Structure 1
Protein backbone atom coordinates (compact mmCIF):
# COMPACT_ATOMS: atom_id res chain seq x y z
CA UNK A 1 0.00 0.00 0.00
CA UNK A 2 2.89 2.31 0.81
CA UNK A 3 4.35 1.76 -2.66
CA UNK A 4 0.98 2.46 -4.27
CA UNK A 5 0.69 5.82 -2.50
CA UNK A 6 4.24 6.78 -3.47
CA UNK A 7 3.61 5.72 -7.07
CA UNK A 8 0.51 7.91 -7.31
CA UNK A 9 1.92 10.99 -5.57
CA UNK A 10 5.49 11.14 -6.92
CA UNK A 11 4.59 12.26 -10.49
CA UNK A 12 2.31 15.00 -9.12
CA UNK A 13 4.95 16.89 -7.12
CA UNK A 14 7.97 19.04 -8.03
CA UNK A 15 10.12 17.56 -5.23
CA UNK A 16 9.67 13.77 -5.49
CA UNK A 17 12.54 13.10 -3.07
CA UNK A 18 10.54 14.69 -0.25
CA UNK A 19 7.60 12.28 -0.56
CA UNK A 20 7.40 10.14 2.59
CA UNK A 21 4.77 7.65 3.70
CA UNK A 22 4.68 6.47 7.30
CA UNK A 23 2.43 3.68 8.54
CA UNK A 24 0.81 3.52 11.96
CA UNK A 25 -1.03 0.31 12.76
CA UNK A 26 -3.70 0.10 15.43
CA UNK A 27 -6.18 -2.59 16.44
CA UNK A 28 -8.64 -2.33 13.57
CA UNK A 29 -7.07 0.25 11.30
CA UNK A 30 -3.94 1.28 9.42
CA UNK A 31 -3.19 4.98 9.09
CA UNK A 32 -0.86 6.12 6.32
CA UNK A 33 0.67 9.57 6.88
CA UNK A 34 1.72 11.20 3.60
CA UNK A 35 4.28 14.00 3.92
CA UNK A 36 5.36 16.14 0.98
CA UNK A 37 7.36 19.34 0.52
CA UNK A 38 5.52 22.52 1.60
CA UNK A 39 5.50 23.78 -1.99
CA UNK A 40 3.75 20.60 -3.19
CA UNK A 41 0.91 20.40 -0.67
CA UNK A 42 -1.49 22.27 -2.94
CA UNK A 43 -0.71 19.96 -5.84
CA UNK A 44 -1.48 16.87 -3.78
CA UNK A 45 -4.70 18.30 -2.34
CA UNK A 46 -5.93 19.92 -5.56
CA UNK A 47 -8.76 22.34 -6.12
CA UNK A 48 -11.48 21.75 -3.52
CA UNK A 49 -9.64 18.57 -2.46
CA UNK A 50 -10.40 16.71 -5.67
CA UNK A 51 -6.98 15.13 -6.11
CA UNK A 52 -6.78 14.12 -2.44
CA UNK A 53 -10.22 12.55 -2.70
CA UNK A 54 -9.20 10.64 -5.84
CA UNK A 55 -6.02 9.36 -4.18
CA UNK A 56 -8.00 8.23 -1.14
CA UNK A 57 -10.56 6.48 -3.36
CA UNK A 58 -7.85 4.46 -5.12
CA UNK A 59 -6.11 3.57 -1.85
CA UNK A 60 -9.36 2.55 -0.14
CA UNK A 61 -10.37 0.43 -3.13
CA UNK A 62 -7.00 -1.33 -3.14
CA UNK A 63 -7.38 -2.08 0.56
CA UNK A 64 -10.96 -3.33 0.32
CA UNK A 65 -9.89 -6.96 0.77
CA UNK A 66 -7.94 -6.11 3.92
CA UNK A 67 -9.32 -6.97 7.33
CA UNK A 68 -8.22 -3.61 8.73
CA UNK A 69 -9.69 -0.25 7.79
CA UNK A 70 -7.27 2.00 5.91
CA UNK A 71 -6.97 5.78 6.32
CA UNK A 72 -4.77 8.27 4.46
CA UNK A 73 -3.69 11.53 6.13
CA UNK A 74 -1.99 14.20 4.06
CA UNK A 75 0.33 16.32 6.16
Structure 2
Protein backbone atom coordinates (compact mmCIF):
# COMPACT_ATOMS: atom_id res chain seq x y z
CA UNK A 1 0.00 0.00 0.00
CA UNK A 2 2.87 2.33 0.86
CA UNK A 3 4.43 1.87 -2.59
CA UNK A 4 1.14 2.62 -4.32
CA UNK A 5 0.67 5.88 -2.43
CA UNK A 6 4.25 6.95 -3.14
CA UNK A 7 3.83 6.15 -6.84
CA UNK A 8 0.75 8.37 -7.02
CA UNK A 9 1.95 11.28 -4.87
CA UNK A 10 5.63 11.77 -5.78
CA UNK A 11 5.00 12.97 -9.38
CA UNK A 12 2.50 15.54 -8.08
CA UNK A 13 4.78 17.36 -5.65
CA UNK A 14 7.80 19.67 -5.97
CA UNK A 15 9.67 17.99 -3.10
CA UNK A 16 9.31 14.20 -3.59
CA UNK A 17 12.08 13.54 -1.08
CA UNK A 18 9.82 14.95 1.68
CA UNK A 19 7.02 12.45 1.01
CA UNK A 20 6.70 10.16 4.02
CA UNK A 21 4.11 7.49 4.75
CA UNK A 22 3.49 5.85 8.11
CA UNK A 23 1.17 2.87 8.36
CA UNK A 24 -0.68 1.82 11.51
CA UNK A 25 -2.47 -1.52 11.33
CA UNK A 26 -5.19 -2.63 13.76
CA UNK A 27 -7.45 -5.69 13.78
CA UNK A 28 -10.11 -4.17 11.54
CA UNK A 29 -8.44 -1.19 9.86
CA UNK A 30 -5.27 0.14 8.30
CA UNK A 31 -4.48 3.83 8.68
CA UNK A 32 -1.92 5.40 6.33
CA UNK A 33 -0.60 8.81 7.32
CA UNK A 34 0.77 10.72 4.33
CA UNK A 35 3.13 13.58 5.10
CA UNK A 36 4.32 16.05 2.44
CA UNK A 37 6.18 19.34 2.41
CA UNK A 38 4.07 22.28 3.56
CA UNK A 39 4.29 23.96 0.15
CA UNK A 40 3.01 20.80 -1.57
CA UNK A 41 -0.18 20.44 0.49
CA UNK A 42 -2.29 22.30 -2.07
CA UNK A 43 -1.11 20.06 -4.88
CA UNK A 44 -1.93 16.88 -2.96
CA UNK A 45 -5.34 18.11 -1.81
CA UNK A 46 -6.31 19.81 -5.07
CA UNK A 47 -9.21 22.16 -5.76
CA UNK A 48 -12.11 21.32 -3.47
CA UNK A 49 -10.25 18.18 -2.39
CA UNK A 50 -10.57 16.46 -5.74
CA UNK A 51 -7.00 15.12 -5.92
CA UNK A 52 -7.14 13.83 -2.34
CA UNK A 53 -10.47 12.17 -3.06
CA UNK A 54 -9.05 10.50 -6.18
CA UNK A 55 -6.01 9.22 -4.26
CA UNK A 56 -8.26 7.85 -1.52
CA UNK A 57 -10.49 6.13 -4.10
CA UNK A 58 -7.52 4.30 -5.66
CA UNK A 59 -6.12 3.32 -2.26
CA UNK A 60 -9.49 2.05 -1.02
CA UNK A 61 -9.99 0.00 -4.19
CA UNK A 62 -6.51 -1.51 -3.96
CA UNK A 63 -7.00 -2.37 -0.30
CA UNK A 64 -10.41 -3.97 -0.66
CA UNK A 65 -8.79 -7.38 -1.07
CA UNK A 66 -7.38 -7.24 2.47
CA UNK A 67 -10.82 -7.34 4.15
CA UNK A 68 -9.91 -4.34 6.29
CA UNK A 69 -11.01 -0.73 6.09
CA UNK A 70 -8.29 1.56 4.86
CA UNK A 71 -8.02 5.20 5.87
CA UNK A 72 -5.68 7.76 4.30
CA UNK A 73 -4.88 10.86 6.31
CA UNK A 74 -2.91 13.72 4.79
CA UNK A 75 -0.77 16.02 6.90
CA UNK A 76 2.32 18.23 6.88
Same fold by TM-score, threshold 0.5 exceeded? yes
TM-score under structure 1 length normalisation: 0.98
| Alignment partner of 1:55 is 2:59 | no
The one-character-per-residue Cα deviations of 1:10-44 (angstroms, maximum 9, x if unpaired) are 00000000000000111200000000000000000
TM-score under structure 2 length normalisation: 0.96
Question: What is the RMSD of the two structures over their aligned residues, measured on CA atoms?
Answer: 0.5
The size of the alignment, in residue pairs, is 75
| Alignment partner of 1:3 is 2:3 | yes
- Distance between the aligned counterparts of 1:67 and 1:11, measured in 2? 29
Q: Which runs of 5+ in 1 are unaligned?
A: none
Q: Which runs of 5+ in 2 are unaligned?
A: none
